[in-house]
């Protein structure tokens, strides 16, 4: 309820606002405050830019893989009453699966790294929990040196073997965490094949950056996908891709009540972290040792890409008219709106600035 109320009030008079003035084009801009909720479609841009800039500094000149761990739909009935438990098990099982193969000398014999992002939705907004993971193509051996993956497949390890390992780890943890679940559920889980999907490696480091920007702070549905809202009939139409038909674009019309029901399925528990870092990309490891890895594998082209990417400016504090980062805030106001004598206040402040 807190999240939905915050999104409803976002950038409206209810949250108050501020009056900005551009020092370049001399225009005034009345802007209402954002709700800053992480599930809001309009409040992720600035945070996304900051996060991607930080991750860009950690890039290595090695292949990066995109791996997806998906849960069967039989677990949707568990995800609704126990989201925090189920999603934590999903994160833990995915990392334990990868690290088990990485630590094995037959496969790699090195410490892996992983960035995992939780998505809980499909294109039609139904519940579809899965992890998008970025995994560098190699690991760090005990001596602290980089060890390149030698597999000839599209990924470091066999995805079929990983699928079985992932299912075993997940079910084992689920039994311990929620012993009240019926045996019939586990029978269904073992009858169905679990899928770990691995895409071919990213071609260049800049492709990794592009991927991070698109997926990390994505929410269930963005504003541009909502095509129409019929207030009289209480209907809403949005666009989607039908992957059963090869990604064909189509539309779906729902009642407003059903749309909100589906949207709220993807509001995560308070304090739950949906982006996590593991292995040599974890916060405790990378502060001291990751820069040494970058020196070992230094690449002039990568250094240029990192410098260029981090120099890109965000749209925060940029003027909507001239697109320059020259906005200053003259005054703020609450839900009652700006003061009646705001023109005089503006004039006085501008004279003071000059």
With 0-12 CB in 10 A as exposed, 13-18 as middle and 19+ as buried, what is 170?
buried
Tens of pLDDT along 257-296?
999 999 999 999 999 999 999 999 988 887 778 888 888 8
Tens of pLDDT along 123-180?
999 999 999 998 988 888 888 888 887 765 557 788 888 999 999 999 999 999 999 9
Residue 95 confidence (pLDDT) above 90: yes
CB 13 within 8 A of CB 21: no
For residues 89-94, average pLDDT: 96
Q: Residue 9: name the closest of 30, 45, 40, 38 by CA.
A: 40
| The predicted structure's pLDDT at residue 351 | 65
| The predicted structure's pLDDT at residue 292 | 82
| The predicted structure's pLDDT at residue 50 | 79
| The predicted structure's pLDDT at residue 275 | 92
| Average pLDDT score, the chain | 85
- From residue 163, alpha-carbon distances to 116, 140, 160, 187, 285 in Å are 17, 24, 5, 17, 28
* % of the chain exceeding 70 in pLDDT: 90
Tens of pLDDT along 244-268?
787 789 999 999 999 999 999 999 9
| The predicted structure's pLDDT at residue 57 | 81
- For 325, residues 6+ apart whose C-beta sits below 8 A from its C-beta are 313, 317, 318, 319
Tens of pLDDT along 24-50?
888 888 888 889 898 988 887 777 777
Lowest-pLDDT range of 192-206, 263-277, 312-326: 312-326
| The predicted structure's pLDDT at residue 316 | 65
**Tokens 């568990």 belong to residue:** 78
Q: What angle is formed at CA 169 by the lines to CA 166 and CA 170, rounded to 5 degrees?
A: 80
């Amino acid at each position: 309820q807190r999240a939905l109320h915050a999104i409803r009030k976002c950038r409206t008079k209810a949250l108050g606002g501020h009056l900005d003035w551009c020092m370049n084009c001399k225009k005034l801009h009345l802007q209402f405050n954002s709700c800053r909720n992480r599930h809001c479609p309009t409040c992720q841009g600035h945070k996304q830019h900051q996060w991607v800039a930080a991750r860009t500094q950690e890039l290595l000149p090695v292949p990066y893989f995109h791996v997806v761990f998906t849960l069967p739909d039989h677990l949707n009935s568990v995800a609704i009453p126990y989201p925090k438990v189920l999603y934590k098990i999903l994160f833990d099982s995915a990392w334990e699966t990868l690290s088990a193969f990485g630590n094995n000398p037959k496969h790699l014999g090195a410490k892996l790294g992983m960035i995992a992002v939780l998505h809980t939705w499909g294109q039609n907004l139904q519940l579809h929990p899965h992890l998008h993971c970025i995994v560098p193509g190699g690991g760090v051996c005990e001596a602290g040196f980089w060890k390149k993956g030698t597999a000839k497949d599209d990924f470091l390890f066999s995805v079929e073997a990983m699928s079985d390992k992932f299912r075993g780890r997940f079910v084992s943890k689920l039994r311990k965490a929620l012993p009240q679940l019926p045996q019939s559920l586990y029978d269904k889980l073992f009858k169905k094949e679990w899928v770990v999907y691995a895409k071919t490696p990213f071609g260049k480091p800049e492709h990794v950056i592009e991927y991070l920007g698109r997926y990390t702070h994505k929410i269930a549905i963005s504003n541009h996908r909502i095509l129409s809202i019929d207030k009289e009939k209480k209907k809403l139409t949005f666009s989607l891709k039908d992957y059963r038909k090869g990604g064909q674009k189509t539309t779906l019309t729902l009642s407003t009540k059903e749309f909100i029901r589906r949207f709220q399925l993807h509001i995560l528990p308070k304090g739950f972290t949906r982006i996590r870092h593991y292995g040599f990309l974890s916060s405790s490891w990378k502060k001291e040792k990751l820069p040494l890895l970058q020196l070992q594998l230094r690449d002039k082209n990568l250094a240029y890409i990192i410098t260029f990417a981090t120099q890109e400016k965000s749209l925060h504090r940029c003027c909507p008219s001239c697109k320059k980062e020259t906005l200053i805030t003259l005054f703020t106001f609450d839900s009652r709106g700006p003061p009646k004598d705001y023109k005089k206040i503006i004039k006085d402040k501008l004279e003071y600035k000059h």
